[in-house]
Amino acid sequence: MYGIDLEEANGNKDNVLPVPATVIINQDGTIGYIHFDENYKKRLGIKEIVNHL
């Protein structure tokens, strides 16, 4: 419908969209916080991200 070939974009034939994630990486290169939710509608707000910095 939008001219997007999901098979080409994903590199497979699953025809699924990726799940968004937020990852905060500390200055030393370690992961300080990660937010991942299979429900793509549940995303971190700006205030929540800033609180984890």
Q: What is the model's pLDDT at position 38?
A: 82
Q: What is the DSSP string of 29-42?
A: S-EEEEEE-SSTT-
Reported confidence tier of residue 27, pLDDT bands at 50, 70, 90:
very high
Return the half-sphere exposure (C-beta side, CA atoms, 13 A cut-off) of residue 32: 11
Residue of 10, 51, 15 whose CA lies nearest to 32:
51
Mean pLDDT of 1-9: 77
> Is the pLDDT at 1 greater than 70, yes or no?
no
Averaged pLDDT of the chain:
85
Mean pLDDT of 33-48: 87
Q: What is the model's pLDDT at position 24?
A: 94
Q: Domain coordinates of the chain in residue numbers? A: 16-51
